[in-house]
Amino acid sequence: MLEKLVLALVYAARRLRRYFQGHPINVLTGYKLKNVLSKPELSGQLANWAIKLGEHSIEYKPRPAIKGQILADFITEVPRHKEQECLIEQQPQTPPEQGQVWSLFTDGASSSEGSGASLRLVNPEGHEFTYAIKLDFKSTNNEAEYEAFLAGLRIAKKLGVKHLESRVDSMLTAGQINGTYEAKNDVMASYLSQAKVLIRQFSSFEIIHIKRSENKSADALSKLASTNFQHLAKDIRVEGLEHPSVPQNQVLVIQTGVESWMSPIVAYLSSGTLPAGKAEAQKIKHKALNYQLTDGTLYRRSFLGPLL
């Protein structure tokens, strides 16, 4: 139990490093952690943890009441398990009848020459609607796959399709839509969220992962759209997208060489210069813990270490 408590404190110091370095920390506990960590005969993991915690100003105090400990006890007793969110309703609103299901085949391709996407929409009678999309923005292969999938959903909705069966050769797209894969990247999460909105507009929907050999037509068309876009046949519907389907993060351009709120921080990190006022100097000291000056450029620190 003592090792678990010390390990929890080490994780807290690692996650909240800026606060541990800039402020004194009071640890309220009913266990004698101070006596354990101050023993000279410590060895192994406890010795390493004691060294890591020794760089901070930590004071161990007895816990006065149990009220503030309820949440921590509950988290340890009932660990939180992330349940995969299924984007497709388990029971469709209207079950498809025989001969009402449309088939959608999509594929995306990204290379140094450009990015393209393609889709084939097949109605129950076997008639095909083929589309090629050239992406006039930089995108990865996974983003191109999602662009083709979202375009297929939008076109199917415009055609009045109620029951749709999508077949994709991207295991990532199929896994994230089915809920077996998690969208950890912010861009993928945005694509996944928009796909969820479009999927809910169909009475029934199913996505199936197929082999690349079963999707040769869409694969060849997406590669063609990314390279020789102007030479496509006239019977193919061509659409050009100038911007991604999901909103992009906006970046504010900062003018250098102009006095701003960053100037006192840069002066302190570069030469140790502080404002004349004691309160203002202490404020700059605390604020500077959140930043790092590298090659004359001011970066903000993240919780886990990488510069922002």
Per-residue pLDDT of the chain (308 residues; tens, 9 = 90+): 888 888 888 888 888 888 888 889 888 887 777 777 777 666 677 788 888 888 888 888 887 766 667 777 777 666 554 444 444 444 445 666 666 899 998 888 777 777 888 888 888 888 888 888 888 888 888 888 899 899 999 999 998 899 999 988 888 888 899 888 888 788 888 899 999 999 999 988 999 888 877 777 766 766 666 655 555 555 556 677 777 877 766 666 666 667 888 889 989 998 888 988 888 999 999 998 888 888 888 888 887 767 78
Considering the domain boundaries, does residue 84 fall inside one? no
Q: Same domain for 233 and 279?
A: no
59 and 111 in one domain? no
Confidence at residue 289, expressed as pLDDT on a 0 to 100 scale: 87
Q: How many domains does the chain have?
A: 3
Is 111 part of a structural domain of the chain? yes
What is the domain extent for residue 291?
Answer: 252-308
Terminal C-alpha separation, the chain: 37
Same domain, 225 and 269: no
Same domain (yes/no): 136, 192? yes
Dihedral sign of CA atoms 25, 26, 28, 32 in order: positive
From CA 99, how far away is CA 164, in angstroms rounded? 11
- Asked if 165 and 226 sit in the same domain, the reply is yes
The Cα–Cα gap between 217 and 275 comes to: 68
**302 part of a folded domain:** yes
Closest CA to 106 of 63, 148, 137: 148
Q: How far apart are CA 60 and CA 97, in angstroms?
A: 69
pTM (2 decimals)?
0.48
Q: Output the domain CATH number for residue 152.
A: 3.30.420.10
**Amino acid (one-letter) located at 115:** S
User: In the Cβ-directed half-sphere of 136, how many Cα atoms lie within 13 Å?
Assistant: 6
